[in-house]
Amino acid sequence: MKKNYSLRIFNLLAKRVYKLSKKRKLGWKWNDAQKWTSANLFKLYKGKPISKIKVTEVDSVIVSILDGTQTPTGTTTPKPTICFDPFNIPTKDLKDINWWMLADQINFFDGNLNIRVAIGSIIDTGVVKKNELINLNETVEDMRKSGFSSDENIIFKILVAPNKTDDGKPCSYYVLATLMGSPLDTETSMDEVLKVVTESDLPEDVRKEREIKVKKRQDIIDLRIAKKKSAERVRPTKIEGQDEAEKLQIQETLTNLQNLYAKKLISKELFQANVKELKAKLKFGGKI
């Protein structure tokens, strides 16, 4: 009976993906590497004799898929890469930001955007699709632990992708996110592709999608502000009733939570836990 080596092949591929993700500092966990392998790599090698699978070739294919370049001869060619056009990003969305806003800003970009996040020794993803980035909140936390000062900013610039030319095609460019004044910022200062883009320049479908994202982002910001203001209130030592303004504040926060949950921006568990806490404080008083 012919043996089925599919599991063995899958584990071999996943281990290579995981190793390269560590080298590129993508922040992937083993489970993330397995998911990526299943979606992008395993189909190229499924059913192939394991003796004919070379590690060097596998690594080359992984890199080519991550970078959006052509795969080596002898392998099955993946379906054409879809790239979001960086020149469909309004210039104001690429303005400098405070370093602690890194995750929020990049999450705002389209999932098919080619991007490289390079922050000193903390992270360098290489050029990857935005939807391949894993948990940039951890990167922000690492920056916080490293003692980044409040005056350090992240800059964004559009550059020509490796092995590409400035030909106007979406896959020929990527967005670099790095520290202002860093060696990488200096090295690429003459390579930036400059173009002023306004909202009116965007295709209608892109403009509408951006408007939805802007609204969602503002909802999240409003919720954070509401919770922060509520958290600054001092819990009364003796409660004989609850201040009407505080009740209104809690009700507003509850409404924001309901809106975020309805739009599937937060999980059911997080929604229920926050609602339970807020309703308890609405009944007994005190800060949120």
Residue 269 has pLDDT above 90, yes or no: no
The Cα 272–Cα 235 span in angstroms is 23
Per-residue pLDDT band at 283 (split at 50, 70, 90): low
Element spanning 165, H or E: none
Residue 240 has pLDDT above 70, yes or no: no
CA contacts within 13 A on the Cβ side of 35: 9
**pLDDT at site 3:** 56
Count of beta carbons in the 10 Å neighbourhood of residue 241: 8
- The rounded Cα 254 to chain-centroid distance in angstroms is 27
Mean pLDDT of 163-181: 93
Residue 224 has pLDDT above 80, yes or no: no
The dihedral through the CA atoms of 173, 176, 180, 185 has a sign that is negative
Picking from 33-47, 134-148, 256-270, which range would have the lowest pLDDT averaged per residue? 256-270
Count of helix runs (H) and strand runs (E) in the chain: 10, 6
The Cα 142–Cα 148 span in angstroms is 9
Per-residue pLDDT band at 213 (split at 50, 70, 90): confident
Mean pLDDT of 52-76: 70
Residue 231 has pLDDT above 80, yes or no: no
Whole-number percent of the chain with pLDDT over 70? 83
pTM over 0.85: no
Mean pLDDT of 4-27: 84
The torsion defined by the Cα of 154, 155, 161 and 165, in degrees rounded to 10, comes to -170
Is 9 in contact with 48 (CB distance < 8 Å)?
yes
Mean pLDDT of 120-142: 89
Strand partners, 153: 98
Q: Which two tokens stand for residue 90?
A: 């309004």
The torsion defined by the Cα of 248, 253, 254 and 259, in degrees rounded to 10, comes to 130
pLDDT digits (tens, 9 = 90+) for 195-206: 899 988 888 888
**pLDDT at site 286:** 45
Is 13 in contact with 41 (CB distance < 8 Å)?
yes
**pLDDT at site 57:** 87
Per-residue pLDDT band at 73 (split at 50, 70, 90): very low
**pLDDT at site 113:** 94
Going from the C-alpha of 38 to that of each of 17, 31, 47, 246, the distances in angstroms are: 11, 11, 14, 50
Q: Tell me 163's DSSP state.
A: T
The Cα 210–Cα 216 span in angstroms is 10
Specify the higher pLDDT residue, 233 or 144: 144
